[in-house]
Structure 1
Amino acid sequence: MTNAVEARRAKADWSAVRLHVVTGKGGTGKTTVAAALALALAAGGERPGDRRVLLVEVEGRQGLSQLFDAGPVVYEERRVAVTPDGGEVWAQALDAEQALLEYLDLFYKLGPAARALRRFGAIDFATTVAPGIRDVLLTGKTCEAVRRRAGHTHSTHTHSGHTHSGHTHSGHTQGRGKTQDRVFDYDAVVMDAPPTGRITRFLNVNSEVSGLARVGPIRNQADAVMRVLTSAQTAVHFVTLLEEMPVQETLDGIAELRAASLPTGGVIVNQARPVVLPEDRLKKAAQPGGLDFAELEAGLAPVGLADTDLVSALAELATEHAQRVLLEAAQREELTATEAPLYELPLLTDGVDRVGLDLLAQRLRDQGAA
């Protein structure tokens, strides 16, 4: 890691951020990183259970339930994990239809009539014809959780970014086999967001609804969402691999967000592989035939492995490794040019389970990402 990267990392401070939006090209491990970041943010409280983080899923893929082995993640906020020091991670799968029902009930007092619209397919029609409304509803529900203040629970009923007193809703706690309605406040909210190619459009809800509503509740809702998304409370983190296509999508995504005046966060390099050759041998090994076969044979002879075919195979592996390391170094240099804080997570060769998530969370904390 270069000194320049270390210097930027040392300055990275997300303590003022309450909404961490995690995006990335498909296949980069975006959902895994979002879960690890939520665990990292939930840890480190002064007392056991001192910190609570909400992890939000907006794409309906149920990736979080698989990671935490906690059953399906639903619309209600439910606890899915506890950190080693007692911090809590709660999860919620946002659904535009349910958010719209809340919205119609709050602003238009439709009540059962809104549910009748669902039976006739009117809600699906509305969110299909005007997809910008869907994004407003999903981001609005997320921003509502961000606007709550940590440290206590309350009985306020919240709808897609607006508050309406007199009811209970949202968070659920389990006790003695009975579910108790309770709205929780969170120290941070982590959103497992859409992929890089759609993230700017998803977050830039003002432009999405500008042709649909210039005044009224929808316009007010979009403005309230944008006040959160464009503030210092929000950071959009990009997950990437050290490969050409994911890196290029990350660079393009950062540029698009900045052009839209949306706040970028850090770049999280996932599945980073260890370098097994010393630096002075990498460039030599990267050249076909660059390794000294006689030297390899001499090194393997004491352990009885100086077989010609084995030496040839090992030399080929060493060349492939060296070439990959040099290509990754070039991609890493492309990322550092963005001047975004850079974090790296290791490749988990045994797959991702709770032990692996805790390891990734600790790496993020060690590097100052949480």
Structure 2
Amino acid sequence: MSPDPSPVRLHVVTGKGGTGKTTVAGALALALAADGRHVLLVETEGRQGIAQLFDTPPLPYEERRVAVTRGGGEVKALAIDVEEALLEYLDMFYNLRRAGRALRKMGAIDFATAIAPGLRDVLITGKIKEAVTRRHDGRPVYDAVVVDAPPTGRITRFLGVTGEMSQLARSGPIKTQSDGVMAVLRSPRTAVHLVTLLEDMPVQETADAIADLTKADLPVGSVIVNMATEPILPVDDLARAAEGRLTGPDLALALAAAHLSGSDVLGEALAAEVTEHARRWTGQDALRDEVEALGRPTVELPLLAGPIDLGCLFELAGRLEEHLRTEVEERTGA
């Protein structure tokens, strides 16, 4: 196994809905598992998105292998079930698993999480912390834990609610557990990565989330620009098209030379298509400057044609692996 000088072992992936954060979380888990490492990929929202992504049956509340990587590495996945997490918590700290099962039969657990939504996040982050700190024979069970977390609008509350619980409980197991969770989440072992698209709303939500996370003393990692497109024209031609200076007659001569019938009509249609592409690209390029101004390490992932399958995930993982390697080299001065 090649050494990894990075101190980060908990990678929290968030992003505005529709930016592909689950896909990015899956690809990041594959990248981190390369060269024989063991990674846990955690789902927090109960959508079974990870199972769909890796084309596996719905995940139960147990850690199951979903992929094998280069060098014998592996990715295991866990879909956190709030009821089971609460039973586990009651058993771990109060030896009350049997009582907890009785509460579940009575519907008390559903009632408690409904009237106190923050309790759900406390249980989830507690389970994540347990996975990060779990050891066997003196070594961490997982080299990294990747979390497919709630979207940017809720991420700071999700990660910070346990700190609020710690302030309410002055002593006892709840206080100890809450302090332990926040110690991990606010440490150099954690990085919150933000997935965005080169569109106005996702970029703005990313900027707002970075500000909120920083204010809450939660460590911000990289900005991952997902589904980035490449220009299909040289820069000068793009600028000309974006300014509306490419017309149908400009293209008609070339189309006629290619012996295409209806070159005048086709030229107008192609000119309109190219102009739209150029203006969209110009707008995206301007947003790149806004992303760069956020001051965080940034990586772009390409827009892939067709549905995302395991091959696509490994392609994205390769891009993320290069990004991780560059970050380590910059950190160590290699």
The SS at the match of 2:324 is: coil
Q: Contact between 1:205 and 1:226, CA under 8 Å: does it hold in 2?
A: no
Which residue in the other structure is 1:201 paired with?
157
Instruction: Pick the aligned partner of 1:246 from 190, 194, 202.
Output: 202
Q: What runs of 5+ residues in structure 1 fail to find an aligned partner?
A: 1-12, 157-182
| Distance apart, 1:222 and its partner CA | 1.2
Which residue in the other structure is 1:308 paired with?
264
The SS at the match of 1:368 is: helix
User: 1:224-278, CA deviations, whole angstroms, 9 ceiling, x for partnerless residues?
Assistant: 0000000000000001111111111111001100011100000111111111111
Q: Matched residues in 2 for 1:347 and 1:255: separation?
A: 28
Instruction: Pick the aligned partner of 1:60 from 46, 55, 63.
Output: 46
Q: Matched residues in 1 for 2:105 and 2:156: separation?
A: 32
The structure carrying a bigger helix percent of its residues is 2
Give the aligned residue type for 1:137. L
Which residue in the other structure is 1:143 paired with?
129
Which residue in the other structure is 2:145 paired with?
189
Correspondence list, 1:147-226, <5 A: 147-149=133-135, 153=136, 185-209=141-165, 212-226=168-182
| Distance apart, 1:207 and its partner CA | 4.2
Q: Contact between 2:247 and 2:267, CA under 8 Å: does it hold in 1?
A: no
Q: Matched residues in 1 for 2:316 and 2:147: separation?
A: 17
| Distance apart, 1:367 and its partner CA | 2.8
Q: Matched residues in 2 for 1:330 and 1:239: separation?
A: 18
Give the aligned residue type for 2:225. V
Change (3 A) 1:216 1:140: same
Q: Matched residues in 1 for 2:98 and 2:195: separation?
A: 42
Which residue in the other structure is 1:103 paired with?
89
Q: Contact between 1:62 and 1:73, CA under 8 Å: does it hold in 2?
A: yes
Which residue in the other structure is 1:87 paired with?
73
The SS at the match of 1:89 is: strand
Q: Matched residues in 2 for 1:14 and 1:245: separation?
A: 35
Instruction: Pick the aligned partner of 1:32 from 23, 30, 48.
Output: 23
The SS at the match of 1:140 is: helix
Q: TM-score under structure 1 normalisation? A: 0.83
Instruction: Pick the aligned partner of 2:10 from 9, 14, 19.
Output: 19
Q: Matched residues in 2 for 1:318 and 1:115: separation?
A: 62
The SS at the match of 2:299 is: strand
Change (3 A) 1:210 1:18: closer
Which residue in the other structure is 2:103 paired with?
117
Q: Contact between 1:31 and 1:64, CA under 8 Å: does it hold in 2?
A: yes
Which residue in the other structure is 2:331 paired with?
none
User: 1:61-97, CA deviations, whole angstroms, 9 ceiling, x for partnerless residues?
Assistant: 0001011112112211010111244310000011221
Q: Contact between 1:42 and 1:87, CA under 8 Å: does it hold in 2?
A: yes
Q: TM-score under structure 2 normalisation? A: 0.91
Q: Matched residues in 1 for 2:167 and 2:102: separation?
A: 27
Q: Matched residues in 1 for 2:143 and 2:290: separation?
A: 33
Give the aligned residue type for 2:27. A
Q: Contact between 2:11 and 2:145, CA under 8 Å: does it hold in 1?
A: yes
| Distance apart, 1:292 and its partner CA | 4.5
| Distance apart, 1:221 and its partner CA | 1.2
| Distance apart, 1:334 and its partner CA | 0.9
Q: Matched residues in 1 for 2:323 and 2:252: separation?
A: 40
The SS at the match of 2:218 is: coil
Q: Contact between 1:75 and 1:95, CA under 8 Å: does it hold in 2?
A: yes
